[in-house]
Structure 1
Amino acid sequence: MKRNYITILALLTVIAVLAAACGNKQELEQHSAGPDQEATSSVPAFQSDATLPFKTDTNKVKEPLEISASKDKDQTAKEQTGTEKKTGAGSFDPDRPKLGGIALFEKKDAVVKMLGNPVEQYTLEDEPSMTIYEYDGLHIGFHKDDTVQFIEVSGADIVTGLQGLQIGDQEQAAVKALGKPDSDTSFVYSYNAKDSLLKLDIDPKTETILSIKLFVVEESA
């Protein structure tokens, strides 16, 4: 009886040891494998460039778009064009007088083709009679034979074609652009030209150019 008891006790002890050993093994496996499994489930595995649908370059710095630069460049070009248009080039040729790009004795059709239809037109019944075409800052007078007899520039945006001279410039600018006038009387500068006269009206208070006129002068008998 005593032997059987010892045998059973030894068998239980062996079973307990084996159970403990199995438990420690499972705990060790869970301890070693558990964190990796959790990391694998919560954080996606990093894929190399070879497996990605597109390649990424983490060291590449995104370059700024050049839209603004192009816009500034275009804007600068526009400003330069506008300035060039406003100042204009060329000088007054007494032998072939022009004002605002219009030559004396030019035909009406050519003027309309260049400037379009006038804002307003009317007839002066003075002798000789003259038909006036009025544009913004520009007046052109036509003889009855439809040739230009009179041109007046009064708008600051009109290109005069006189070495960049504009309405609103100081009177010194006129002398610099056209030279000393042939006549200087009561704030009117006059320059003689072939069969014509170029006149600049000067504001006596501000000493700035108010208007510029070019008109045909008939020779006295």
Structure 2
Amino acid sequence: MIGRLRGILIEKIAPEILIECHGIGYEVTMPMTSIYSLPDINQEATIYTHFVVREDAQLLYGFANKVERKLFRLLIKVNGVGPKLALAILSGMSADQFVSCVVHDDLTTIVKIPGVGKKTAERLLIEMRDRLKDWQGDIHTPATDAAPLMPHSETSFANDHKGDAINALVSLGYTTAQADKAVKLIYQQGMTSEDLIRDALKSMI
């Protein structure tokens, strides 16, 4: 089991990074909130990992801290929730913000996460309630105050702040139409990609 990696950050193309450890490059998929907390390219980074072996692939998921990894491991135990959906949840809000939704039975916020329908959201609230009884953290943090996300550095859209923001939202699971509409709704002159992503997410979650 690969539990932690410390090395030089070679690439950062959300939602994946490439980190070199002792001459070996590891491709790691991470939630957007974790990617945002990473240092710049060619700097040393430490990430906590979860290794998944399937018949057709070996996948490595990374997190900025043990708390995010702990919640990820709890989420993928929920019936109907796989790694991709768990990453989308952790990209839309912090671990403690998700726990706050569960504690306060906030179905409305959870169902706005891309890929989470009403039935899945209800299942998450029911199954996660018991598993999170002993959770340590600030459960009173509002779910709408999620951290800004890291823009996608390779884009098929226009090479500007709007395009970067749209691509980052699409990588979270939103459709291109949803992302485009949200960005246009909140766009103001002078906003950076990070401003656009953060405010667009707030308008949708």
**TM-score bracket for the superposition, by shorter chain length:** under 0.3
User: Which is bigger in relative contact order (C-alpha 8 A, separation at least 6)?
Assistant: 2
Q: Specify the structure having the higher radius of gyration (Cα).
A: 1
TM-score after normalising by structure 1: 0.25
Structure having the larger proportion of residues in strand = 1
TM-score after normalising by structure 2: 0.26
Structure having the larger proportion of residues in helix = 2
